[in-house]
């Protein structure tokens, strides 16, 4: 079966170019270098449907494709946009001209101005972008970003210091008695009470709590107004402690809310904004209590740490907090009580 190609204009030059392209295809087939995407044999188109793009333009196309495919949250999208700005400033060249040397120079520039963790993440993103672009746009045959991320040794992060039992009680009391920030007291008690993520508590609806206030279903999260699934993409049901259950029961009785209403809205009835909460309420309360500053995430970290130190089963804690079991054991192994696990006979 033979394919036939025709076009509107014919000329000696056009026929000559066609024969030249046919010879190239034939040679590639014989040598095993045939490009099944056919991009190699197409003209390097400019304009709206360009196949030859500058590196920042290529990454912009990739960002749009990933955002559409995965539904990137605003925070994730900002990381892509930030890298796009870096490319415009440091690598504003045609994508097919990005060689191993240029990629290495770009990595060096990032290492001078960014921490190792951010630089490594961006190199993985660029490697994925060039892989995605193969067969779609004119770029180098070999991915110039391959292997660069593996060369960066990420500096270990300092372990988050959990709040002590006394500090937690002081924080909760300070929120309850603060004229301006007492609105958040139940929200903070919930964070310390079940060790969930900030966005999971901020996005919680009354329909997610069982009628008898015994359990809470956590399968959604909210960040800067954008509702999504949990960080792990998995839902979980958590058994509530008597104290947290009593707080929720009392709160429900006082508010008489609809099932779809937020359990912990902001003073204006909107989802609590993590940035505003941290900068205003949280920081202020910690200063009043003379407690060393830690981000609100430390509430989750503290809840998990105290549960494990109190002898709770690590697997049960991982399931209740939505933590990856291996990550939890690696992160919190220092607080798990060391005792013999073997039975004496």
Which among 128, 151, 174 is the end of a domain? Answer: 151
Q: How confident is the model at residue 336 (pLDDT cuts 50, 70, 90)?
A: confident
Q: Assess whether 325 and 212 both reside in one domain.
A: yes
Domain that holds residue 117: 55-151
Structure-model confidence comparison of residues 2 and 36, the more confident one: 36
Number of domains present in the structure of the chain: 2
Other C-beta atoms lying within 10 Å of the C-beta of residue 166:
10
> Is the CB of residue 205 less than 8 Å from the CB of residue 261?
yes
Which among 105, 124, 151 is the end of a domain? Answer: 151
Q: Assess whether 195 and 132 both reside in one domain.
A: no
What are the CA-CA distances from residue 121 to residues 25, 35, 297 (Å)? 38, 31, 22
The CATH number of the domain where 230 resides is what?
1.10.443.10
> Is the CB of residue 41 less than 8 Å from the CB of residue 25?
yes
**Can you tell me the distance from the alpha carbon of 12 to that of 18, in angstroms, rounded to the nearest whole number?**
10
Only one residue has tokens 């959604």, namely 220
Reported as a single tens digit per residue, the pLDDT across 58-83 is: 999 999 999 988 877 777 889 999 99
pLDDT at residue 327, as a whole number: 86
The CATH number of the domain where 146 resides is what?
1.10.150
> What percentage of the chain carries pLDDT values higher than 90?
63
Query: Mean pLDDT, to the nearest integer, of 223-239?
Result: 86
Can you give the three-state secondary structure of 166-206, one letter per residue? HHHHHHHHHHHHCCCCHHHHHHHHHHHHHCCCHHHHHCCEH
Q: What share of the chain is helix, strand, coil (3-state, %, to 5)?
A: 55, 5, 40
48, part of any domain = no
Structure-model confidence comparison of residues 200 and 141, the more confident one: 200
Q: Assess whether 313 and 233 both reside in one domain.
A: yes
What are the CA-CA distances from residue 273 to residues 102, 262, 295 (Å)? 40, 13, 14
345, part of any domain = no
Reported as a single tens digit per residue, the pLDDT across 84-128 is: 999 999 999 999 899 999 999 999 999 999 999 999 999 999 999
Residue among 66, 113, 44 at smallest CA distance from 85: 113
Q: How confident is the model at residue 272 (pLDDT cuts 50, 70, 90)?
A: very high
Reported as a single tens digit per residue, the pLDDT across 155-214 is: 777 788 999 999 999 999 999 999 999 999 999 999 999 999 999 999 999 999 999 999
**Can you tell me the distance from the alpha carbon of 268 to that of 271, in angstroms, rounded to the nearest whole number?**
9
Only one residue has tokens 């954008």, namely 226
pLDDT at 335 exceeding the cut of 90: no
Q: Assess whether 204 and 133 both reside in one domain.
A: no
**Can you tell me the distance from the alpha carbon of 211 to that of 196, in angstroms, rounded to the nearest whole number?**
20
Q: Assess whether 102 and 220 both reside in one domain.
A: no
Q: How confident is the model at residue 140 (pLDDT cuts 50, 70, 90)?
A: confident
Reported as a single tens digit per residue, the pLDDT across 274-322 is: 999 999 999 999 999 999 999 999 999 999 999 998 889 999 999 999 9
């Amino acid at each position: 079966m033979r394919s036939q190609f025709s076009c509107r204009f014919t000329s000696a030059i056009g026929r000559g170019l066609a024969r030249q392209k046919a010879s190239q295809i034939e040679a590639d087939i014989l040598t095993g270098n045939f490009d099944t995407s056919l991009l190699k044999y197409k003209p390097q188109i400019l304009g709206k449907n360009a196949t030859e793009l500058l590196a920042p333009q290529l990454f912009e196309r990739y960002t749009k494709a990933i955002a559409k495919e995965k539904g990137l949250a605003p925070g994730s999208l900002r990381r892509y946009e930030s890298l796009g700005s870096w490319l415009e400033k440091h690598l504003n060249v045609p994508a097919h001209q990005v060689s191993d040397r240029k990629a290495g120079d770009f990595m060096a520039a990032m290492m001078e101005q960014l921490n190792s963790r951010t630089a490594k993440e961006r190199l993985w993103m660029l490697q994925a972008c060039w892989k995605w672009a193969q067969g779609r746009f004119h770029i180098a045959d070999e991915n110039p970003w391959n292997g660069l991320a593996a060369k960066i040794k990420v500096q270990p992060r300092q372990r988050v210091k959990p709040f002590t039992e006394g500090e937690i009680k002081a924080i909760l009391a300070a929120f309850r008695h603060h004229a301006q920030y007492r609105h958040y007291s139940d929200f903070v008690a919930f964070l310390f009470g079940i060790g969930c993520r900030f966005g999971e508590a901020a996005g919680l609806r009354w329909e997610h709590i069982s009628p008898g206030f015994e359990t809470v279903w956590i399968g959604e999260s909210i960040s800067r107004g954008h509702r999504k699934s949990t960080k792990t993409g998995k839902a979980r049901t958590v058994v509530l402690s008597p104290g947290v259950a009593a707080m929720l029961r009392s709160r429900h009785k006082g508010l008489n809310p609809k099932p779809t209403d937020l359990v912990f809205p902001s003073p204006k009835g909107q989802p609590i904004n993590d940035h505003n909460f941290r900068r205003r309420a949280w920081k202020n309360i910690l200063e009043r209590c003379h407690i060393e500053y830690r981000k609100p995430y430390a509430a989750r970290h503290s809840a998990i740490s105290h549960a494990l130190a109190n002898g709770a089963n690590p697997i049960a804690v991982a399931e209740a907090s939505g933590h990856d079991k291996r990550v939890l054991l690696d992160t919190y192994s220092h607080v798990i009580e060391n005792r013999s696990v073997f039975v004496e006979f």
